Amino acid sequence: MNLADKIKSDKPTLVNFYATWCGPCVMMKPNVEEAAKQLGSNIHFDRIDIDQEGDLAELFQIRSVPTTMIFKNGEVKWRQSGIFPSTALVALVEELL
């Protein structure tokens, strides 16, 4: 399933935009991965490297990294730049389940 299909799904999709050279992105990686692990099959999950997927970064107007977004039914339900604990991400997604 590609990203467009995941975003359109009625299952929440957690997307983390990052760059390999970004220190805060390195710090955020275990948080989003832990949230995805805890939520399991209840969500779709993707990490997108903005340097390799510039078209997607432009499409979603990513201006700083890390930026994390939650989609459901084709709509952005939450978007924030910066570092967030996995517990906060899990709570945000669980509100959409």
Query: Catalytic positions, please?
Result: 22, 25
Q: Is the dihedral of CA 78, 57, 81, 87 positive or negative?
A: positive
Cis peptide before 66 (omega within 30 of 0): yes
Q: Which candidate, 22, 20, 82, places its Cα nearest to that of 49?
A: 20
